[in-house]
Amino acid sequence: KNEVEQSPQNLTAQEGEFITINCSYSVGISALHWLQQHPGGGIVSLFMLSSGKKKHGRLIATINIQEKHSSLHITASHPRDSAVYICAVTGNQFYFGTGTSLTVIP
Amino acid sequence: DAEITQSPRHKITETGRQVTLACHQTWNHNNMFWYRQDLGHGLRLIHYSYGVHDTNKGEVSDGYSVSRSNTEDLPLTLESAASSQTSVYFCASSPGRGAFFGQGTRLTVV
């Protein structure tokens, strides 16, 4: 049983498309994180959420605490957005989803 | 600027050898974590520490150990490397909320 489930596992989009990645979790949390892992392997933290919505450039992250669900949206997707996106939650420890591999085609 | 660094970035070792992966952070965070990343499994927690002299086992701790003698460092030791431990290893530190990740160490056990 995974404490954090992401969907889809793989996603291919045309440049310019609006993209949504979903994350559901089953544990009590204090915060939810969206991480981005580039093909080179480095991981960067995109957002940390405990409620509501955050926006950074073309990226938007939302969380619904009651439904235990979060979404990451990418508007006007670009090939440089191609990466693995990982949802993680902080409860007693970090729990990670297996990631969504996004490929944006020019 | 504060940062978290892992070394080495790449390592090839033989089965049965002891290997230590270094993780050093300059934020003075109390919380530090080691993960391994394998295809199909995402990131899995190996060990974690909430402060000096505190260490805890994670989901996949067998065959690994850590020690925390100061705030900045959490070295990960493979006591007797096995081929199943071929993986990419990530270290992270956290002030309590949010996390910062190292660039990862790719370990191959042959």
Average pLDDT of the segment spanning A46-70? 93
DSSP calls for A7-43? E-SEEEEETT--EEEEEEE-S--SEEEEEEE-TT--E
Q: Would the pLDDT of B11 be above 80?
A: yes
Strands A10-14 and A100-105: parallel
> In chain B, which residues touch A (CB < 8 A)?
33, 35, 40-45, 48, 58, 88, 90, 92, 94, 97-101, 103-104, 106
Average pLDDT of the segment spanning B47-74? 94
The two tokens of residue A83 are: 């990466």
Which residue among B41, B42, B45 sits closest to A86, beta carbon to beta carbon? Answer: B42
The two tokens of residue A11 are: 């996603």
B13: confidence class by pLDDT, cuts 50, 70, 90: very high
Q: Which residues in chain A are closer than 8 Å to B100, comparing Cβ atoms?
A: 45
User: Residues A6, A87: contact at Cβ < 8 Å?
Assistant: yes
Q: Considering only A9-13, B1-5, B12-16, which range has the smallest mean pLDDT?
A: B1-5
Q: Would the pLDDT of A27 be above 70?
A: yes
A40: confidence class by pLDDT, cuts 50, 70, 90: low
Q: Determine the pLDDT at residue A55.
A: 94
User: Residues B46, B61: contact at Cβ < 8 Å?
Assistant: yes
Q: Determine the pLDDT at residue A46.
A: 86
Which residue among A48, A86, A99 sits closest to B97, beta carbon to beta carbon? Answer: A48
